[in-house]
Amino acid sequence: MAVPLIVRRLAFGLLVAAIVVYTVFPFYWAVVSSLKQGTGLFRVEFWPSEIFPENYVNVFREQPFGRNILNSVLVSTGVVAVSLLLGVTAAYALGRFEFRGRTSLLFAILAVSMFPQVAVLSGMFELIRWMGLFNSLWSLVISYLIFTLPFTVWVLTTFMRELPKELEEAAIVDGAKPWNILVSVFLPLLGPAMVTTGLLAFIAAWNEFLFALTFTLSSEQRTVPVAIAYITGGSQHELPWGNIMAASVIVTVPLIVLVLVLQRRIVAGLTAGAVKG
């Protein structure tokens, strides 16, 4: 290895720079494009010479995009709340109790997370219609549980098992009921884990497309991904790329900020189920 240190340093620096450009450029390009208008959009400039914020106004004027964002927030929050509530009680049983069937149950739950969504589509459609929830946001809150719930249970169980045994034993000796032990002993300690799990479930629900596309009909009931997929504008020949990019930037920026602020926790959550076991 007779390569001089400076050359190696330089090569490594170039590699890092290449990775950064590769990962960031598409988003940067979306921001640049969202600030262009008319024929300006069709000139490739890596730095916009003029800035037109109109696309950001048009997105909200040409479709109920504000409503779509609200829908996504409501659905994702609802799904996360239900998943965490059900997930933490299940994780308590799976993480702190020994009983027959525990491992099989965990595997059954893991198996559900491998279901392709399309495999339950027609059955779910029938169920939603039977409950009278077609074209309602509730249809999404219910159907999204199929992917948020197994994930939440799995990750919370992993975290739950790591807590020391003594905590619980003291409470049992004091004669505390299981529900009280869960609420007053474990819940406070699981705070960080619940934030991580909740955040990942939120992102999964926020990004979901297939169910949202199939179970909603009117543009007022659409969530953000469906709304963006349906932006077609007035012209038949060309999509309104400026609007699409503006809409993309609007909903992506909060996500990126959230992810960057909480990156340590996200990494912990992503790896909890996969690596530690």
Tokens of 116: 């392709």
**Binding status of residue 105 toward another protein by CB under 8 A:** yes
Residue 259 Cβ vs another protein, minimum distance, rounded to whole Å: 4
Q: What phi, psi does 232 have (nearest 5°)?
A: -125, -20
Binding of another protein by 183 (CB under 8 A): no
DSSP character for 101?
Answer: T
Is residue 3 at the binding interface for another protein, with CB under 8 A as the rule? no
d(C-alpha 165, C-alpha 186), whole Å: 11
259 lines the binding site for another protein (CB under 8 A):
yes
- When the beta carbons of 73 and 146 are compared against another protein, the nearer one is 146
220 binds another protein per the rule CB under 8 A: no
Q: Show contacts with another protein in window 134-173 (CB under 8 A).
A: 142-143, 145-146, 149-150, 153, 157-158, 161, 165-166, 169
Residue 88's H or E segment, with its range, is helix 65-96
**Per CB under 8 A, 186 contacts another protein:** no
Residue 102's Cβ-side half-sphere holds a number of Cα atoms within 13 Å equal to 12
d(CA 58, CA 247): 10
CB of 99 to another protein, least distance (A): 4
DSSP 166-206: HHHHHHHHTT--HHHIIIIIIHHHHHHHHHHHHHHHHHHHH
Hey, which residues between 55 and 94 contact another protein (CB under 8 A)? 82, 86-87, 89-90, 92-94
Size of the site for another protein (CB under 8 A): 100
Q: Which amino acid is at 256?
A: I
Q: Between 73 and 121, name the residue whose CB sits nearer to another protein.
A: 121
| Smallest distance, another protein to C-beta of residue 234, A | 18
